[in-house]
Structure 1
Amino acid sequence: MSHTNKKVPKRRFEEFSNTDDWEQRMLGDISNVTKLAGFEFTKYVNYSDKGKIIALRGLNVKNGNLILDEVKYIDKSDFSKLKRSKLFKGDILFTYVGTVGELAVVPEDDKYYLAPNVASIRMNKGLDTIFISQMMNNRLFYNRVISPLIATSSQPALSMENVRKFALNLPQVEEQRRIGMFFKQFNNTIALHQRKLEKIKALKTAYLSEMFPAERETKPKRRFAGFTDDWEQCKLGELAKITMGQSPEGVNYTDNPRDYVLVQGNADMQNGHVVPRVWTKQITKTAKKGDIILSVRAPVGDVGKTNYDVVLGRGVSALEGNEFIFQLLSKMKAENYWFKYSTGSTFESINSNEIKEAIVSVPEKQEQMKIGAFFKQLDSTITIHQRKLKKLQNIKKAYLNEMFI
C-alpha cells in the first residue's frame, strides 16, 4: 500500500513511523457514554451554595478545562439513587445541549457528579483518555464528526445515541500515550504562560488603584520619590481635546486596507490598541495616529490607542492625550466609572457632555510623565506575554491538525 493511502496522520513520532495504520472505532464501542436522567435530577438532587460534592453543569466545562468559578454543591442529595452520575478521575465530560461539544477531563475521584446537559464518557481500559479528549476537543473533529450529528431545533442538542456514533481514528495504545503525554505537557506550558499573564494583569490593576488617588482624595497611596504635591481636580474636557464620532454611511464601508480605517466600538480594539476590521471611503469625524479612542456605547469605557489615522464611528470618541491620560482612562474603565451615567438605560451609552464634564485628578507634568512611562513599560510586558501565549496556542492548533486523522 502506498503511503498516500495509509491511514496515518501528517506528523508522527519517529518511533511509530513504520507501525500499523490507525483504526476507526465508534465511541460507543470503546467507552461507556451516559447522562443524568431528568427524573433522577428533580427527584434526588438537592442543590446548595456550600459543600464538598460538586454537580458539574455546562457552564463548568469550557475549552478543555473545568471552570469552577460558579458551582453548585449537592452534599445533601440521595447518592444511593445517583450511582450512574458519579464521576471518576479520567472521565471525559461532554456538553450535549446548547453549546454542544465542550470537553474537560475529571481530575480526581469522590468530588464530582453529573448535572443535566453534560454527559460522561468513560473510556475502556487500555485507551488513553488524554489522547481521546485532545482529539475530540479539536475544531476539525467538531466540524467533521460532531456538527453533522447535531439535531437542528431551537436549541442545538445531541442524543446519547449520536454521541456513541462518533467515529474516532485510533493508533495502538503506546502511540496514544505518547501523543497524550505530549499534549499534556504542551497544555501545562500554555497554562503556565496563562498564569504569568494573569499575574501581571492583576499587578497592573493593583498599581492603577494605588498610583492614582481614590475618590475624594488628593494624593495616591503609592508615588515616585520626590513628588509630594496634591493632585489637582479638573474636567476631562480641560485636560484633553475630545472628538465625538459620527458614522459614515454604511454603503461606504469596505474591506479595502487602502481606504480609511473605521473605528466603531470595542470590537475594533484589542488589548489596548485599535485593530483594523472595517474600512470606509467616506470621511466624517477623524482622529490622528497616537490619539486615544474611548468607546461610548455598550460596553462603555473601553480604551485603546490608535497607530493609524482613523474615521470615528458613532460608538467611539477620540482624545488628544498622552500616556498618562490613556492610563487614567484605563483606571476609570477598571473601576466602572462610566457605569453611573448609563444605568437604567436599555442601551448603555455616554454623551459628549458626560465625557467632557468628568472630574479627574491630575498631578504636575513631571509626575504625569513618570506614571505614563511606568505603565507603558508594564503594558509592553503584558503584550510580550500575550504574544507568547498566542504563539503557543497557534502551535498547539497546528499540532492538533497534523497529529490526528
Structure 2
Amino acid sequence: MAKIDDSVKKKVPELRFPGFTDDWEERKLGELSNIVGGGTPSTSNPEYWDGDIDWYAPAEIGEQSYVSKSKKTITELGLKKSSARILPVGTVLFTSRAGIGNTAILAKEATTNQGFQSIVPDQNKLDSYFIFSRTNELKRYGEVTGAGSTFVEVSGKQMSKMSIMVPELSEQQKIGSFFKQLDDTIALHQRKLDLLKEQKKGYLQKMFPKNGAKVPELRLAGFADDWEERKLGEIGTFKNGMNFGKSAMGHGSPFVNLQNIFGKNIIDDSNLELAESTLKQKKDYSLIKGDVLFIRSSVKPSGVGEAALVTKDLPNTTYSGFIIRFRSEIDMDDNFKRFVFGSKKVRNQIIARATSSANTNINQDSLGLIQIGLPSFEEQQKIGSFFKHLDDTIALHQRKLDLLKEQKKGFLQKMFV
C-alpha cells in the first residue's frame, strides 16, 4: 500500500453550494477571531449582582443554538471588578473546563464566568454560525489540548492556535445560513415532541381516577358509570422470570431483559437478546398476547415497577429473573393495560411499596395489592385507543427528529474540510 503524503491535504469539501470553486485555506482560529475569557465578581458584594448585564455560567449552555437571557446578572460595577468583558451579539460561547465544548451563540450582548473561552468572530473574516456549526471540531480540539491537574481546561491561547480550514466569507455565510435553518427546524420538531410528551403526562393524570375518586377528572364522551376498584392480585396471576448463567447468554431463543422495558410501554420483539432455554422453561416462562411485564428490581429507584405490554404471542421467548409477568384473568383491553400501569396513581403505589437494598425491588405480593380503577370494557377500549394514537404521534415526531439529526450529521461530514 502506497504511503499517503501527509503534506497533501484536502482543500475542498465533498458537498458544495453552486458558484464556489476556490480552495479552502488553513488558518488559525486566533487569526479570524478574538478568544475572550470570563470572570466572576465577588459573590459576597451585593453591589455587583442583579444588574442589567447578562452573565452566563457553563450549565446554562445546552441544546439551544441561541441564548438571550441568563439566570444571573451583574452590574456595571461588578463587570469592572472582575476579568469579565462584554461580548457582542454573534459571539460563540465555548465552555473551556470540565464539560469542554458546549457552545451557543449570543443573541444579546452579555458576559460569562471564567468557565468559558468565547470566540468573537472578526466580521470580515469569520461567520458566527459557520464556526458554531463546527462544534464537534472545537470540542475535540479542546478535549485533546486541555490540561490541568485538578480538571481539564483549555486556555484562550491554546484555542487561538487551533487550525481550521475556511473558505471565503460569502461561502461561510451560505454554509452558516444553511445549518442555522436546519438547526431551527430541529429545534421546532424538538419543541413539538416535548409538548406532546407533556400533554401525554397531563392526560395520564386526568384520564385515570386519583386516589379515592371513582371517576377520572377528564372523561371521553358517552361514559358516566363509576370505575370499579380492583387489586391486581384479584384479577390476574404473577410469575417471576428466570436467571440465566453467562454461558447460556448470546445464543438460543429470544429473551426479554430489563432494557426492553425501561422507558417503553410495549415489548419490541425485533431486538431481543438470546438465551439458551429448555422446552420446559419455554413453557413455564412463556409470553402471550396481553401479558404485562413489570421490572422487579432496578438500580434506579424510579425504574422499579415500570411495565410493558406483550402485544402478540412470543413463542419460545422467556424473560429475565428481574422481571415479573402479570397475566390477567378477566377481560381487559390490551391498550388500556399498556397505559393504566403508567398512570400516576399506580406508579405512586408501586414506589410506595418498593423496598431498597443494593437495588430497589418490588415483589409479587406487593404488586398484588396495587389497586387500579377499571371502567367498562368499552371505555377501556376508547381510553386505550386514545393513548395509542398519542403514542403513535409521539413516535412519528421522534422518528422525524432522529432523521433530521442524522441528515445534519451527514451534511456536517460532507460540507466541511
More moved, 24-33 vs 338-347? 338-347
Counterpart for residue 318 of structure 2: 311
Q: Residues 123, 227 of structure 1: CA spacing in aligned structure 2 closer, same or farther, 3 A cutoff? A: same
Counterpart position of 1:102? 102
SS at match of 1:317: strand
Shift in Å, 1:89: 1.7
Does 1:204 find its partner at 2:196? no
Q: Which residue of 2 aligns with 1:398?
A: 410
Q: Judging changes above 3 Å, is the alpha-carbon distance between structure 1 residues 118 and 295 closer, same or farther for their aligned structure 2 residues?
A: farther
- 1:9 and 2:16 aligned: no
Corresponding residue to 1:250 among 228, 238, 246: 246
1:350 partner amino acid: I
Q: CA RMSD in A?
A: 3.3
Does 1:356 find its partner at 2:351? no
Question: What is the CA distance between 1:187 and its match in structure 2?
Answer: 1.0
Indicate yes or no: 2:342 matched with 1:330. Answer: yes
Q: Which amino acid aligns with 1:318?
A: R
- How far does the alpha carbon of each residue in 1:183-207 deviate from its partner, in whole angstroms, 9 at most, with x for none? 1111111111112212222222222
Measured at CA, do residues 261 and 340 of structure 1 come closer, stay the same or move farther in structure 2, by a change above 3 Å?
same
Give secondary structure in 1 for the equivalent of 2:101: coil
CA contact 1:342–1:350 (8 Å) conserved in 2: yes
Distance change >3 Å, CA 286–CA 91, structure 1 → 2: farther
361, 379, 387: which one pairs with 1:367? Answer: 379
Deviation, structure 1 residue 161:
3.0
Q: SS at the partner of 1:108?
A: coil
Q: What CA deviation, in whole Å up to 9, does each residue of 1:40-98 have, x standing for no partner? A: 556768898x7765432222112454689993444597232246343332111112222
Q: Distance in 2 between matches of 1:103 and 1:120?
A: 9
Query: Which one of the candidate residues 223, 230, 235 is aligned to 1:234?
Result: 230
CA distance in 1, matches of 2:288, 2:116: 50
After superposition, residues 144-163 of structure 1 pair within 5 angstroms as 145-151=141-147, 155-163=151-159
Larger Rg: 2
Distance 2:201 2:335 in 1: 16
Deviations 1:301-339 (A, max 9, x none): 433345684433244333346211211112138965433
| Contact 1:41–1:116 under 8 Å retained in 2 | no
The reply on whether 1:131 has 2:125 as its aligned counterpart is no
1:170 aligns with 2:166: yes
> Which structure 2 segments of 5+ residues have no match?
1-7, 329-333
Contact 2:200–2:390, Cα closer than 8 Å, also in 1: yes
SS of corresponding position for 1:120: strand
Deviation at 1:155, TM superposition (A): 3.7
Q: 1:89 to 1:69 in 2, by over 3 A?
A: closer
Q: Name the counterpart of 1:261.
A: 255
Q: CA 1:131–1:315 in structure 2 vs 1: closer, same or farther (change >3 Å)?
A: farther
Residue among 182, 189, 198 paired with 1:186: 182
In structure 2, distance between residues paired with 1:54 and 1:338: 44
TM alignment of 1:272-283, pairs within 5 A: 272-274=265-267, 276=271, 278-282=273-277
Q: Which amino acid is 2:376 matched to?
A: E
Match of 2:33 among 31, 34, 40: 31
Of residues 100, 105, 115, the one that matches 1:117 is: 115
CA distance in 1: counterparts of 2:264 and 2:184, whole angstroms:
24
More deviation in 359-368 or 244-253? 244-253
CA contact (8 A) 1:263 1:274 kept: no
Q: For the structure 1 residues 60 and 67, does the alpha-carbon distance in structure 2 shift closer, same or farther, using more than 3 Å as the test?
A: farther
CA distance in 1, matches of 2:363, 2:113: 45
Query: Is this contact kept in 2: 1:92–1:120, CA < 8 A?
Result: yes
Question: How far did residue 343 of structure 1 move?
Answer: 7.5
TM-score (norm 1): 0.83
1:383 maps to which of 395, 410, 415: 395
Structure-2 change in CA distance of 1:334 and 1:240 (3 Å) = closer
Q: Name the CA shift for 1:219/1:103 in 2 (closer, same or farther; >3 Å).
A: same
Aligned positions, number: 390
Q: Does residue 294 of the first structure (1) align with residue 294 of the second (2)? A: yes
Q: Extract unaligned runs of 5+ from structure 1.
A: none
AA at the equivalent of 1:231: W
1:166 shift after superposition: 2.1
In 2, Cα distance between equivalents of 1:324 and 1:114: 50
The 1:280/1:332 distance shift into structure 2, 3 A limit, reads: farther
TM-score, normalization: structure 2?
A: 0.81
CA distance in 2, matches of 1:271, 1:401: 32
Secondary structure at 2:391 match in 1: helix
CA contact (8 A) 2:229 2:371 kept: yes
Cα distance, 1:281 vs structure 2: 2.7
Q: Secondary structure at the match of 1:261?
A: strand
In structure 2, C-alpha distance between the alignment counterparts of 1:302 and 1:156, rounded to whole Å: 38
